[in-house]
Structure 1
Amino acid sequence: MSTDLRAKIANFFHPMSHAALDIEPFRIAGLEIPRGDGFAKSQRIDAALDNLSEMEMAKLALKLAQGRGDVALDEAGRKVLEADEPPLTRITRRDVARVFGDDLAGEADVIELVGRYFVISDPFEEVFGGSGRSLRNKIERHMVRNPGDCSVEFLFGEIGAFDCSRARFGALLQDTVHPLARSGEEQLRTVTALNKVLARDGYELAVDGDESGHPIYAFRPIVRGVEGRPKNLIFASRGPKPELGFADAINNDIVILSGEESCLVYDRPITAANGLLWSELVTWWSEQGSGGDAVSLGKRLQESLASDAERKIFATYFKTYRNSVADALPALLPQVYLHYDPAVVKMLRHRLPLIRQRMDFLLLLPGRQRVVIEVDGKHHFSEGEKPSLKIYSAMVSADRELRLAGYEVYRFGANELVGTGSEKVIQDFFDKLFRLHRVTKA
C-alpha cells in the first residue's frame, strides 16, 4: 500500500470537523467515515481507509483531487493506477521535449496551457505580490516576453513533467497538438515527430475525432500488435506447397521438410521500430549470392502470385508507392507460409506438426503491427462448384485466430481487383491503411 497516497488522502480529510466527516467524504466521493464518540478524527479516517484496497484508494484520490484541483493528490492516485502499465521513460520525455525545441504551445498561450496541468503560481504572490520568482513569472519572462530564452526541455524539468503521471503528460501533449495550438501541416509534422519518439515506449497520439474539420488527437497506448519478434518468414513459393515442422519446439525454430527450393526464407532480425521495409528486403536479396536488385526481386515475387487479382494488388502497390513513400515503404510479402500444411507425424519423427496457415499477402509494420491481405475467389467459399459451409467456416475460424494473435485481416473479393476501377479500389485501401499506421510519404 502506498503510504504517500494514504497520507495525502488523510491530510485531505483531517481539516474537517467531526460533523463534516459525517457528511462530506460521502458527498464528495462516496466514502463513509465510521462514526464514533470519543474517537479522534485521525482514528476515524484510518478506520475508513483500512477497508480500501490500494486501487480503491487511488480512485478515491482522483475523485477528491478533482473537486479541489489538488495536483499532488491527483498525481499520487494516478501513479498507483498506472503502476502496471508500460512506463513512459525520462529518456522518451526528454526527446519529446526536444521535438518542441523552444516552442511548446504554438499559437496557444503557453502559460495557460502549462497551468492546466502543473502548479506554476504561488498563491501568496498572486494575492500579495512578491519576488516575481514563481514558475509563472519565469515562463512569462523567458518564453513569452523573450521567446527562445528557455527550451521546452528546461521547462519540463522546472514543472516536473519528467516525473509526472503518464496521464498528465499525455494530456499536456494532446493540448500541444490541438488545432488551437497547431493546425494543418504544422500539426501533422509535430504529431509525426512526437509519435516516432513515443512509439519506443508503446504510446502514440492518435486521431480521436475532429473539430471544425481539424483532427483532434488523443494520447493512448499503441494498438496491440503481435507479441515477440517475427521468425520463420517463409514466402513467395513458386512451386509445391512447403511442408513445415518444428526443428526446436522450445525456441519455435522451423524446419522446411520439403519444397524449400521453391520458397524464399528471410532470416534476418525484424525490428519493432521498422517492421520489414522494402529497402531491407532488397538489401537481403542482393546479398543472397545472385547480386539481384529491386527489379529482379520484384520479378521473383511476382512468380509466386496465383491470380490476376493478386497480380493487380502487387503491381498497383509498387507503381503507386515505390517513389512516393520511398525508403519508408513496407515490404508487401506474397504467399506467406506460416505454420502451414503439417506433414504426417511419423515423417516429422520427434518434431511437432504445425497448424495449417497461409496468407496471400503480409505487411510487417512498425510497432509490431501485422496486416494480412486475402484475395477471395470462389474456392474460398465452395467445394468444386458447390457452396461449402465447411470451407467458409474454416476460413472464418482461421481469421479469428489471426485476429486474436494480434494480426489485422483484410479481405478483398477477387472481382473488386480486376477491370475498370480496380486500381482506385487498391489505392484507396492502402492510402487509408498507411494513414492508420502512420506510414508517411517521402
Structure 2
Amino acid sequence: MARRIHISEMIANKLSNAYTHATLPAIGEEFGLTMPSAADGSSKKERALQALAGKTEYELAEIARDLGRQSRAFGLEEEALAILERNTPAISEITRRDIAKCFGDDLCGERDVVALVKELFPIEMMTFGTFSLRILEEEIQQHMVNFPGDWSVETLFEQIGALTCSIDRFGRLLEAALHPLGRRGPELPILVTAINEVLRLDGYRLAIESELSGHPIYRLGTISRSPTGSPKNLIFASNGPKPEIGLGDAINNDITILSNASSCLVYDKPIGRDGLLWRELVEWWRDLQDHSADAAKDLGQRLHQSLASDAERQMFKTYFQLYHPKLGGALPALIPQVYLHYDPAVVSALRHRKGFVRQRMDFLLLLRDRVRIVIEVDGSQHFSQDGKPSLNVYADMVSADRDLRLSGYEIYRFGSNELVGGQAFGRIESFFDRLWRLYKVTGA
C-alpha cells in the first residue's frame, strides 16, 4: 500500500508540474486517465490523484513508466520499472561488470557514445564526483571521445549508474551498443557470443530480433524453452473439409491450398517481435477482403464459425469482451482451430502407419519473445472411446502434450464443463489475468 501511494504521488507531482489545468485532460487520456473537472477548485495534483484512485500498483507502474519515458523523468521511470520487474530475474552487478569488460573501452563503435548514453541516462544533469563542477556529459566527452581509451566501458557503467539501473534500461543500453549503425562485420557475433556467455549465468541472452540492411539487430530477453525460429505457416479457423495442401515453393516452404481453400484461413504475413496481435490479424483480413468496412466484426464472425462447442464459443466470446477494452492494440490474437501437425492423408484410410494424434489446437496465442500458448478445451472425446473411459485415448493425449512441451509450447487445458454456466466468466478472467501477469502483457 505504501509503495502504491508513493508511485501515485510521483505521477501526480509530475503531471501537476508539467501540465496546465487545460491540458491535463488530454494528457490524462493519453495514459488512460479520466481527469475530473477543475470547477470545484481542486489543484492539478488533486485532480491527478483522483484520476489515479482505484488503479492497481501494477497499473500505476505502467503509467509511471510511460510518463517517465515520454518526459525524460529518469527517477519516475526507474521507480516504475522497479515495480514491474519485481518478479523478474536480476542481472547482477557482477554480470554487468563482466559485460562491460567484454566491450573493453569501446561501447558502441562508430556511434557517438555521448549521444547514445544521453538517450537513456540524464548525464546532462549528473555531476562527476561529489565536488566537481563539470557535468557527466562533459566528462564522457573528455575521457571517451577526446581521449579514447582514457575510460573503460566499466568505468562508464559505474559513472552513469548502469551497474544498478533497471533491467529494462540496461537491456536497451546493450541493444543500442550493438546496433548496426555502430557495429557491423565479423567482430559483432564474436562480441555477442562473449556477452551471452556472461548473461546466461543470470538467465538472459541477446538474440537476433530483426535485420537492418542485412545486419542483425539484437534484443535482450530471458532464456526460455520457447520454440526457435518464427512461425511460417499459420493455418487456422478450419470449419469444413480438411484442406489439401501442397508446396508452391518447396525451397522457401511456401504452401498452397489445392482444394477446400474456403474451409480454412492461412495467415501469410511475417510475425514479428510482439507475436501476433488482434489488430494485425484484422488488418490482414481487411486487405484480404478488399478493405472491408467492418473487418474486425467480419473476422470475428468467421472465426466463430470454426468453434466446435459451446465451451469454445464461451472462451472466445469472453476473451474479447474482457480484454479488447483493456488491452486495445496490444491484445494478442486468440486464434482458433490451428493446424499443428498436418497429415496429408485421411486418418481413417491409413493402413501402414498411424496418423498424428493431435493435428489441430483448439486455440493458440503467439506472444512476444516467441512464447506460444496452446489452450485446449477437453470434452469426453479426450479420455473416452465409444462412450467408455479409455486409457489408450488418454495416453495418446498426454503423450502429445509431452511432445509439444518439449518443443517449447505452453499448454493449458480446460474441461468443457468449466466453460459453461455461471462460473465460466470469472474462471476465464482469472486465467487470463494471471497469464498476462506471467508474460507481462500490458495495454497499449
TM-score, with length taken from structure 1: 0.55
Amino acid at match of 1:419: G
Offset at residue 374 of structure 1 (A): 0.8
Counterpart-to-counterpart distance in 1, 2:143 and 2:320: 43
Unaligned runs of 5+ in 2: 1-93, 145-149, 177-191, 205-219, 350-354
Q: Confirm whether residue 138 of structure 1 aligns to residue 139 of structure 2.
A: no
Residue 238 of structure 1: aligned partner: 239
Counterpart-to-counterpart distance in 1, 2:390 and 2:139: 62
Structure 1, residues 193-222: CA drift from partner, whole Å, max 9, x if none? 666777899989x999xxxxxxxxxx9734
Offset at residue 269 of structure 1 (A): 0.8
Q: Confirm whether residue 101 of structure 1 aligns to residue 101 of structure 2.
A: no
The 5-angstrom pairing of residues 46-125 of structure 1 reads 75=98, 97=117, 100-102=120-122
Match of 2:164 among 147, 158, 175: 175
Counterpart-to-counterpart distance in 2, 1:280 and 1:361: 17
The answer on whether the counterparts of 1:376 and 1:411 sit within 8 Å (CA) in structure 2 is yes
The answer on whether the counterparts of 2:357 and 2:400 sit within 8 Å (CA) in structure 1 is no
Amino acid at match of 1:422: A
Match of 2:405 among 403, 407, 412: 403
Structure 1, residues 270-326: CA drift from partner, whole Å, max 9, x if none? 11x121111111111111134332111111111111111111111111111112211
The answer on whether the counterparts of 2:329 and 2:443 sit within 8 Å (CA) in structure 1 is no
Counterpart-to-counterpart distance in 2, 1:154 and 1:337: 56
Unaligned runs of 5+ in 1: 1-70, 81-87, 105-109, 111-136, 178-190, 209-218, 348-352
Counterpart-to-counterpart distance in 2, 1:222 and 1:198: 16
Counterpart-to-counterpart distance in 2, 1:152 and 1:391: 70
Offset at residue 336 of structure 1 (A): 0.6
Q: Secondary structure at the match of 1:327?
A: helix
Match of 1:379 among 373, 378, 381: 381
Offset at residue 245 of structure 1 (A): 5.0
Amino acid at match of 1:268: K
TM-score, with length taken from structure 2: 0.54
Rate the CA distance shift 1:174–1:254 in 2: closer, same or farther, 3 A.
farther
The 5-angstrom pairing of residues 233-382 of structure 1 reads 233-244=234-245, 246=247, 250-271=251-272, 273-292=273-292, 293-343=295-345, 357-382=359-384
Q: Matched residues, percent identical?
A: 47
Rate the CA distance shift 1:261–1:220 in 2: closer, same or farther, 3 A.
closer
Amino acid at match of 1:138: F
Counterpart-to-counterpart distance in 2, 1:425 and 1:302: 21
Offset at residue 369 of structure 1 (A): 1.2
Counterpart-to-counterpart distance in 2, 1:426 and 1:79: 47
Q: Secondary structure at the match of 1:280?
A: helix
Counterpart-to-counterpart distance in 2, 1:432 and 1:154: 47
Offset at residue 342 of structure 1 (A): 2.5
Offset at residue 249 of structure 1 (A): 5.2
Amino acid at match of 2:228: E
Q: Secondary structure at the match of 1:225?
A: coil
Amino acid at match of 1:175: T
Rate the CA distance shift 1:76–1:286 in 2: closer, same or farther, 3 A.
closer
Amino acid at match of 1:365: L
Rate the CA distance shift 1:288–1:76 in 2: closer, same or farther, 3 A.
closer
Offset at residue 138 of structure 1 (A): 2.7
The answer on whether the counterparts of 2:357 and 2:397 sit within 8 Å (CA) in structure 1 is no
Offset at residue 423 of structure 1 (A): 1.5
Q: Secondary structure at the match of 2:128?
A: helix
Structure 1, residues 388-414: CA drift from partner, whole Å, max 9, x if none? 122212211221222222111111111
Q: Confirm whether residue 435 of structure 1 aligns to residue 443 of structure 2.
A: no
Rate the CA distance shift 1:234–1:75 in 2: closer, same or farther, 3 A.
closer
Computed over aligned residues only, the root mean square deviation of the Cα atoms, in angstroms, reads 4.5
Offset at residue 253 of structure 1 (A): 3.5
Counterpart-to-counterpart distance in 1, 2:389 and 2:142: 66
Q: Could you tell which deviates more after superposition, 424-433 or 327-336?
A: 424-433
The 5-angstrom pairing of residues 146-225 of structure 1 reads 150=137, 160-161=152-153, 175-177=164-166, 221-225=222-226
Rate the CA distance shift 1:332–1:99 in 2: closer, same or farther, 3 A.
farther
The answer on whether the counterparts of 1:371 and 1:409 sit within 8 Å (CA) in structure 2 is yes
Counterpart-to-counterpart distance in 1, 2:174 and 2:225: 15
Q: Secondary structure at the match of 2:437?
A: helix
Rate the CA distance shift 1:319–1:138 in 2: closer, same or farther, 3 A.
same
Counterpart-to-counterpart distance in 1, 2:402 and 2:329: 33
